[in-house]
Amino acid sequence: MKAAVLNSAPGKLDIEDVDLDSPGPREVLIETKAAGLCHSDLHFMEALYPYPLPAVLGHESAGIVREVGRDVTYVKPGDHVITCLSAFCGHCEQCLSGHMSRCERKNKDLVRQAGEPSRLTRGGEAINHFLHLSSFAEQMLVHEHTIVKIPEEMPMDKASLIGCGVTTGLGAVFRTAKVEPGSDVVVIGCGGIGLSAIQGARIAGANKIIAVDVVDSKLELATALGATHTINGKEDPVAQVRELTQGLGVHNSFEAIGLKATAEQAFRMLRSGGQATVIGLIPIGINIEVHGVDLIDEKKLTGSNMGSNQFRTDMPRFVDMYLTGRLKLDEMVSKHISLDEINEGFDEMKTGAIARNVITF
Ligand SMILES: NC(=O)c1ccc[n+]([C@@H]2O[C@H](COP(=O)([O-])OP(=O)(O)OC[C@H]3O[C@@H](n4cnc5c(N)ncnc54)[C@H](O)[C@@H]3O)[C@@H](O)[C@H]2O)c1
Ligand SMILES: [Zn+2]
Ligand SMILES: [Zn+2]
């Protein structure tokens, strides 16, 4: 099958022929139907985050089950599924207390063990599986605890977005920050993740929803998806947020880019007792600084991993919200591309001008 391989980083993706093993007892073979390009893949391509290479990238996808291992009962061939990198073991303390996205055993219990054949190979040589999924490929071989069933009427391109960006943005609002109705919210960065956080804030009943980006067309899209105010981040966004909130700041801010400067802005936009949630992946080695005196005002700074999801519960809800018109996903697909166009797709992401490019197979 064809797959996009990262052979060295920093580097581009090479479209190559790779092979998948047959499903182990709890594994599922999926025909990939759609895969979104998320900025996290780009961080790995730019070597801002390390990963053992070569690897088939991609982690935001939907497809159809084609084969299941002998112990799999959750799905059968023909079922439509969304994948999620938040693989859960189901028996560690995090999983048992409802925090499956923080599973402490996923890289031990849900991967192939030493001595077992690799899930992915290229001419007999082992290739690394990426974040339990490796979605930039015509097929995926995954553990059954990385998939959730969805109804067949859900279009696959929109479903794929729920696999990372939508769940991360909505989950950061609903589960990590637990935004209360009537709160004032800022979202910095209006890509696939930030636009999802804006929609989450709208659905949660936030009062002011202030979108910050440096690309004007993104601010227009943010308004269409629920932002009540927009700010161009090039012009002192902290001061502008204070001006929009009678000098007080917001109850909740979300950083959806992955920069030191904007993470610090998110904290400085808070009112007393507020919480800044950094969703963006801050490059390894970078420290975030806050003014110590702000802590006496009970301001909080936290991260969010994949929207603190319980994805087998959350994703079907998001599918329903789309099918009933409350979650807008058609607007978030900027372009459908082929696997061969993947590097151009990531080049476009770097301009900041697109919401999501989605590969359809
Ligand atoms: N925490 C998680 O679990 C998780 C999950 C998925 C993605 N992420 C991360 O979230 C971040 C966003 O991902 P994405 O796919 O939406 O990215 P994206 O590239 O599609 O969007 C980023 C947006 O930020 C804007 N931007 C850039 N610099 C800015 C600035 N200084 N001020 C204001 N806006 C600015 C861009 O114009 C663009 O609209 C990435 O760091 C990604 O790795 C985290
Ligand atoms: Zn992602
Ligand atoms: Zn676990």
Q: Are residues 46 and 155 in the same domain?
A: yes
Does any ligand 1 atom lie closer than 6 A to the CB of residue 210? no
Select from 303, 319, 342 the last residue of a domain: 303
Structure tokens belonging to residue 291: 């003014």
Ligand in closest contact with the CA of 196:
1
Chain CA centroid to CA 189, Å: 14
**Residue 269 included in any domain:** yes
Q: Are residues 184 and 275 in the same domain?
A: yes
Identify which of 37, 39, 43, 308 to mutate to test ligand 1's pocket (most ligand atoms within 8 A of the CB). 39
pTM over 0.95: yes
What CA–CA distance (Å, rounded) separates 292 from 128? 42
Q: Are residues 252 and 197 in the same domain?
A: yes
CATH of the domain at 77: 3.90.180.10
Q: Which atom of ligand 1 is nearest to the CA of 190?
A: 39
User: Which residue has tokens 């910095």?
Assistant: 188
Distance 281 CA to ligand 2 centre (A): 10
What percentage of the chain carries pLDDT values higher than 90? 100
What CA–CA distance (Å, rounded) separates 334 from 343? 16
CA end-to-end span of the chain:
12
Select from 275, 303, 331 the last residue of a domain: 303
**Residue 287 included in any domain:** yes
Q: How many CA atoms lie within 13 A of 33 on its CB side?
A: 21
**Residue 171 included in any domain:** no
Structure tokens belonging to residue 11: 């580097």
- Segment 142-166 shows an average pLDDT of 98
Residues of the domain holding 324: 2-163+308-360
pLDDT tens-digit readout, 30-40 = 999 999 999 99
Q: Are residues 201 and 330 in the same domain?
A: no
What CA–CA distance (Å, rounded) separates 345 from 350? 9
What CA–CA distance (Å, rounded) separates 157 from 179? 28
Select from 256, 282, 303 the last residue of a domain: 303
pLDDT tens-digit readout, 252-285 = 999 999 999 999 999 999 999 999 999 999 999 9
Distance 95 CA to ligand 3 centre (A): 4
What CA–CA distance (Å, rounded) separates 222 from 332? 10
The pLDDT, as a whole number, for residue 359 is: 98
pLDDT tens-digit readout, 65-123 = 999 999 999 999 999 999 999 999 999 999 999 999 999 999 999 999 999 999 999 99
Does any ligand 1 atom lie closer than 6 A to the CB of residue 308? no
Does any ligand 1 atom lie closer than 6 A to the CB of residue 82? no
pLDDT tens-digit readout, 169-189 = 999 999 999 999 999 999 999
**Residue 244 included in any domain:** yes
Q: Are residues 106 and 250 in the same domain?
A: no
Q: Which atom of ligand 1 is nearest to the CA of 306?
A: 3
Q: Are residues 43 and 128 in the same domain?
A: yes
User: Which residue has tokens 């979202």?
Assistant: 187
Q: Are residues 97 and 151 in the same domain?
A: yes
**Residue 258 included in any domain:** yes
The pLDDT, as a whole number, for residue 59 is: 98
User: Which protein residue has the closest C-alpha to ligand 1 atom 5?
Assistant: 306
User: Long-range contacts made by residues 45-51, C-beta under 8 angstroms, separation at least 24?
Assistant: 45/6, 45/9, 45/10, 45/11, 45/12, 45/13, 45/346, 46/9, 46/10, 47/9, 47/10, 48/281, 48/283, 48/284, 49/281, 49/283, 49/284, 50/9, 50/284, 51/6, 51/9, 51/128, 51/130
Q: Are residues 291 and 236 in the same domain?
A: yes
Please state, in angstroms and as integers, the Cα–Cα distance from residue 14 to each residue in 10, 141, 148, 239, 341, following that order: 13, 20, 29, 44, 11
Please state the φ and ψ torsions of residue 95, each to the nearest 5 degrees: -60, -45
Q: For the chain, how many structural domains are there in total?
A: 2
**Residue 320 included in any domain:** yes
CATH of the domain at 204: 3.40.50.720
The pLDDT, as a whole number, for residue 90 is: 97
